[in-house]
């Protein structure tokens, strides 16, 4: 290993060891703060188009929860319009928080702290939840816990099963795509992220361009859900998509190129149809190869994710970044609901001796529970609890943890890829 890399990793390994020694946030450890046996955190999520609230206790029990989704409105608009999202958050936040509290049979006096997403996300949306959370803190004299949305997606799994730090995490959603090592509640090493679209964004835009909403049973589904369902009717080997960033031996992602290949094919097929059959594919009509395109596109996205994860695992192996006998890949974010992608990732985990841990779909997509649980993990470890409310503000963009993408690229790991036929056998 080059000297510069080995010194980076000595310090990374030291950090990991230090954190696993000091870690107080697995279930068996004693919380250092507070001293009460049972405590409750109320969490608020408004980073994008879901208004969510939940109350959880320190054992991960969900006392009450409520969620208002704006999905249908944004599907009708053909995408998220930030001022519309803001208005809907404002209209629903009061009821969502009150519903969650009512379901919990607790009142604000019982709550130990209030957590709210403050970064990253749509500024107009973030500000609604943060301000509402701060107001609760002022009114009931509670501490505030600002939450990083991607940290919350990462930690959700620890609410439902035992996953010790450090672990590898892949977050795939409508707004984000990243690979990281989670070392502690508030410590992450960023191995890679998307240089353009997030996978959910590419799926949503492609579903819209393919007019999947015109198929009645798909009309209320998100783009990603619709493509997953449509793919079941298609042949994933019908179209061969290029492998994104195959010349870059790093762990970054790119989905815009794949999306553009589909768009070009749609345009081509629409033009062909118009010329040969004199029937326009304008308006409501779907192109004949719609299901094959969905299946091949989904396969290409899954394969790209699998390859970046495989390289990340080989990087971990080379640099001894995770304990040998206890390696877990956590996958979360909305796209982690996709069972096809999960099966493909399971193949990589089997090959590399990792446990695969994915929260149930309800906890993969945005919700208030994950924010409340992130707040609880921080409350139990006394990490980032705020009393001066004015010191906290929203941040539209905010990377997760320490960026070591350059070190990953410098390692330039040439992987021996898992064969297509191994994936095909697993998904049939």
Catalog residues that contact ligand KG4 under the rule CB under 6 A: 48, 173-175, 200, 203-204, 222-225, 228, 333-335, 337-338, 365-366
For residue 196, the 8-state DSSP code is S
CA end-to-end span of the chain, whole Å? Answer: 40
Q: Which residues bind Zn ion (CB under 5 A)?
A: 173, 366
- Angle (CA) 145 151 156, round 5°: 95
Q: Considering the complex, what minimum distance in angstroms separates the CB of residue 211 from Zn ion?
A: 26
Name which of ligand KG4, Zn ion, none residue 346 binds, using a CB cut-off of 5 to 8 Å depending on partner kind. none
Q: Considering the complex, what minimum distance in angstroms separates the CB of residue 194 from Zn ion?
A: 14
Name which of ligand KG4, Zn ion, none residue 338 binds, using a CB cut-off of 5 to 8 Å depending on partner kind. ligand KG4
**Bond into 266 cis (ω within 30):** no
What strands, in cross-sheet order, belong to the sheet with 62-69?
Answer: 62-69, 50-57, 40-45, 113-119, 144-148
E strand segments, 251-408: 328-332, 355-357, 402-403
Q: Considering the complex, what minimum distance in angstroms separates the CB of residue 151 from Zn ion?
A: 11
Q: Considering the complex, what minimum distance in angstroms separates the CB of residue 224 from ligand KG4?
A: 2
Name which of Zn ion, ligand KG4, none residue 200 binds, using a CB cut-off of 5 to 8 Å depending on partner kind. ligand KG4
By beta-carbon proximity to ligand KG4, the closer residue of 306 and 337 is 337
> At how many degrees (to 10) do helices 339-352 and 290-319 cross?
30
Name which of Zn ion, ligand KG4, none residue 365 binds, using a CB cut-off of 5 to 8 Å depending on partner kind. ligand KG4
By beta-carbon proximity to ligand KG4, the closer residue of 208 and 249 is 208
Please state, in angstroms and as integers, the Cα–Cα distance from residue 174 to each residue in 85, 204, 205, 223, 389, following that order: 15, 8, 10, 10, 30
Name which of Zn ion, ligand KG4, none residue 222 binds, using a CB cut-off of 5 to 8 Å depending on partner kind. ligand KG4
By beta-carbon proximity to ligand KG4, the closer residue of 48 and 392 is 48
Q: Considering the complex, what minimum distance in angstroms separates the CB of residue 383 from ligand KG4?
A: 22
- Whether the CB-CB separation of 274 and 312 falls below 8 Å is answered with no
By beta-carbon proximity to ligand KG4, the closer residue of 58 and 173 is 173
Name which of ligand KG4, Zn ion, none residue 206 binds, using a CB cut-off of 5 to 8 Å depending on partner kind. none
Q: Considering the complex, what minimum distance in angstroms separates the CB of residue 123 from ligand KG4?
A: 15
By beta-carbon proximity to ligand KG4, the closer residue of 218 and 315 is 218
- Whether the CB-CB separation of 232 and 343 falls below 8 Å is answered with no
Q: Dmax of the chain from CA atoms? A: 75
By beta-carbon proximity to Zn ion, the closer residue of 67 and 287 is 67
- Helix, strand, coil percentages for the chain (3-state, nearest 5): 50, 15, 35
- Angle (CA) 326 309 359, round 5°: 65
Name which of Zn ion, ligand KG4, none residue 174 binds, using a CB cut-off of 5 to 8 Å depending on partner kind. ligand KG4
Distance in angstroms (rounded) separating the CA atoms of residues 111 and 57 = 10
Q: Considering the complex, what minimum distance in angstroms separates the CB of residue 117 from Zn ion?
A: 9
């Amino acid at each position: 290993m080059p000297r510069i890399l080995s010194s980076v990793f000595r310090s990374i390994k030291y950090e990991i060891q230090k954190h696993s020694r000091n870690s107080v946030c697995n279930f068996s450890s004693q919380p250092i703060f507070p001293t009460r046996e049972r405590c409750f955190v109320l969490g608020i999520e408004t980073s994008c188009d879901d208004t969510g609230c939940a109350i959880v206790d320190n054992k991960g029990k969900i006392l009450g929860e409520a969620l208002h989704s704006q999905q249908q409105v944004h599907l009708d608009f053909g995408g998220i319009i930030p001022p519309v999202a803001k208005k809907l958050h404002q209209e629903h936040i009061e009821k969502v928080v009150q519903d969650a509290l009512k379901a919990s049979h607790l009142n604000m006096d019982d709550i130990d702290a209030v957590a709210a997403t403050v970064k990253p996300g749509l500024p107009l949306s973030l500000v609604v939840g943060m301000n509402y959370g701060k107001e609760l803190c002022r009114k009931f004299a509670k501490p505030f816990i600002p939450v990083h949305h991607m940290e919350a997606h990462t930690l959700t799994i620890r609410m439902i099963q035992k996953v010790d730090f450090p672990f590898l995490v892949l977050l795939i959603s409508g707004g984000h795509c990243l690979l990281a090592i989670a070392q502690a509640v508030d410590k992450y090493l960023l191995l890679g992220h998307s240089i353009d679209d997030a996978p959910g964004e590419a799926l949503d835009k492609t579903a819209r361009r393919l007019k999947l909403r015109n198929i009645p049973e798909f009309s209320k589904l998100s783009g990603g859900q619709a493509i997953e369902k449509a793919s079941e009717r298609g042949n994933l080997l019908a179209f061969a998509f290029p492998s994104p960033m195959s010349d870059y031996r790093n762990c970054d992602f790119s989905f815009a190129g794949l999306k553009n290949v589909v768009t070009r094919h749609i345009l081509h097929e629409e033009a062909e149809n118009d010329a040969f059959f004199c029937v326009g594919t304008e308006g409501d009509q779907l192109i004949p190869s719609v299901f094959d395109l969905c299946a091949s596109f989904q396969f290409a996205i899954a394969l790209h994710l699998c390859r970046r994860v495989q390289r990340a695992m080989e990087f971990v192996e080379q640099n001894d970044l995770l304990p040998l006998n206890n390696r877990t890949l956590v996958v979360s974010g909305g796209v982690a609901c996709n069972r096809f992608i999960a099966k493909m990732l399971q193949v990589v985990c089997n090959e590399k001796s990792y446990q695969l841990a994915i929260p149930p779909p309800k906890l993969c997509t945005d919700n208030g529970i994950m924010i409340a649980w992130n707040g609880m993990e921080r409350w139990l470890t006394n990490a980032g609890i705020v009393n001066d409310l004015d010191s906290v503000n929203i941040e539209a963009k905010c990377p997760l943890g320490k960026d070591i993408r350059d070190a990953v690229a410098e390692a330039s790991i040439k992987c021996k890829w898992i064969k297509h036929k191994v994936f095909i056998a697993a998904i049939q």
